[in-house]
Amino acid sequence: MTRVNVVLLIMLLASSVYLVRVSYDARRLFNELDHAQSEERQLDTEYERLKADKQSQATPLRVEKTARDRLAMRTATPAITQYVTYSRAASGSMR
């Protein structure tokens, strides 16, 4: 009878240690999941902010202003436009 009690006591202790280990792992995994979800929310917020920045940077007025200021471009007028005409003589010499 005492042998059975000792075996049951050992099994009880083993299952208790296993239960504590499983509980610890579950808490650790829950904390990791919570941290990952928090990071996901932060990255989503940053993505939305960057998307809004991209849209605001690509407006036609902003592109035109940047072209004028940084690249010293100007609007094409007939006075500065050069027209290229197609000549049959020039195309024959290219062959």
The pTM score is 0.53
The position carrying tokens 């917020």 is 45
d(CA 9, CA 14): 9
Tens-digit pLDDT profile for residues 41-91: 999 999 999 999 988 888 888 888 888 898 888 888 888 888 888 887 666
d(CA 85, CA 67): 28
The position carrying tokens 């829950």 is 30
CB-based contact 56:62 (threshold 8 Å): yes
Torsion of CA 69, 70, 75, 78, to 10 degrees: 130
Residue 81 belongs to what H/E stretch?
none
d(CA 13, CA 21): 12
